Structure 1
Amino acid sequence: MTAVQNDANETGANIDWTALEAAALDAMKSAYAPYSNFPVGAAAFTADGRIVSGCNVENASYGLTLCAECVLVGNLQMTGGGLLRAFYCVDGGGNVLMPCGRCRQLLHEFRAPGMELMTTQGIKTMDQVLPDAFGPEHLEGTR
């Protein structure tokens, strides 16, 4: 499968959502969720066409648990960095999940312009799922 398809006229049309879903499902199989029994997998296309993924990693000290999105962003940085173009997240049953507020903020930091997410209500932009977001551009001394 290719990351980018030729038809880019409508929202989500230039993204291979099937490939992202498959990558998220594959990532979910590596989740470490012995406490909640709620495995999560996430996958994203980067602006340069790579797929990065992550899974949740729980901890006996629940507050130290890493969401799949956190692991995904770590994977992004470890594999060359860049920006995220499209995102997909699933639970253990393969159902689409929305990132929590913390993870929406994390994804916002690493978004490419026009980043899209598969949501429980279909494809939405990052601006739609985190309107009026705070980002690096709001910090003094950053670009």
Structure 2
Amino acid sequence: MSLLKAATEVRLRAYAPYSNFKVGAAIRAASGAIYSGCNVENVAYPEGTCAEAGAIAAMIAAGETQIAEVLVIADSPLPVSPCGGCRQKLSEFGEGGVKVTMTTLDGNAQTLTLAELLPGVFTQAHMDRS
């Protein structure tokens, strides 16, 4: 299955009764396996989860920890970009050169690397005191 197909299919299952903005995300892990997630809203808005976070959780639950590629899709006029929190989450498991494709339902797509999406990423190195 392709990243586009996985993200498109899971997007349809998003729980977005408040915004009606359904998002799907798919991650290809280093093994080649694909994990997907969709946004899940909550009436207490900050308690919802993003599609990228769901895909990461599925990858971790399967025992993998390395992202090789990401695709995010939404019904939007512009390619939908991961929020700041998801950029940091993706960077926890992906190197700076990992490609992130952001696309719309009608195929308007943009691809950037994690480093381009999150310059100056906060990493473990910032916490080392040695």
- Please classify the TM superposition score into its range, dividing by the shorter chain length: 0.7 to 0.9
Aligned counterpart, 1:49: 32
> Structure 1 31/71 Cα, relative in aligned 2: closer, same or farther at 3 Å?
same
Task: For residue 113 of structure 1, report the CA deviation from its aligned partner.
Answer: 5.8
Q: Is contact 1:85–1:115 with CA below 8 Å preserved after alignment?
A: yes
Q: Which has the higher strand share?
A: 2
Give the distance between the partners of 2:83 and 2:58, measured in 1 at CA.
Answer: 19
Task: For residue 125 of structure 1, report the CA deviation from its aligned partner.
Answer: 1.2
Query: 1:91 is aligned with what amino acid?
Result: A
Aligned counterpart, 2:81: 98
| Overall identity of the aligned pairs, in % | 38
Task: For residue 48 of structure 1, report the CA deviation from its aligned partner.
Answer: 1.1
Q: Is contact 1:84–1:115 with CA below 8 Å preserved after alignment?
A: yes
Give the distance between the partners of 2:110 and 2:20, measured in 1 at CA.
Answer: 26
Give the total of aligned pairs.
Answer: 125
Are 1:81 and 2:64 matched, yes or no? yes
Q: Is contact 2:11–2:22 with CA below 8 Å preserved after alignment?
A: yes
Aligned counterpart, 2:121: 133
Q: Is contact 2:96–2:113 with CA below 8 Å preserved after alignment?
A: no
Q: Is contact 1:115–1:126 with CA below 8 Å preserved after alignment?
A: yes
Task: For residue 95 of structure 1, report the CA deviation from its aligned partner.
Answer: 6.6
**Deviations 1:24-81, CA, capped at 9 Å, x for gaps:** 1011011011111111100011111010110000111111010111111111111112
> Structure 1 132/118 Cα, relative in aligned 2: closer, same or farther at 3 Å?
same
Q: Is contact 1:43–1:53 with CA below 8 Å preserved after alignment?
A: yes
* CA RMSD between the two structures: 2.2
Q: What TM-score do the two structures reach when normalised by structure 2?
A: 0.86
For structure 2, the 5+ residue unaligned runs are 104-108
Q: What TM-score do the two structures reach when normalised by structure 1?
A: 0.78
Are 1:118 and 2:106 matched, yes or no? no
Aligned counterpart, 1:16: none
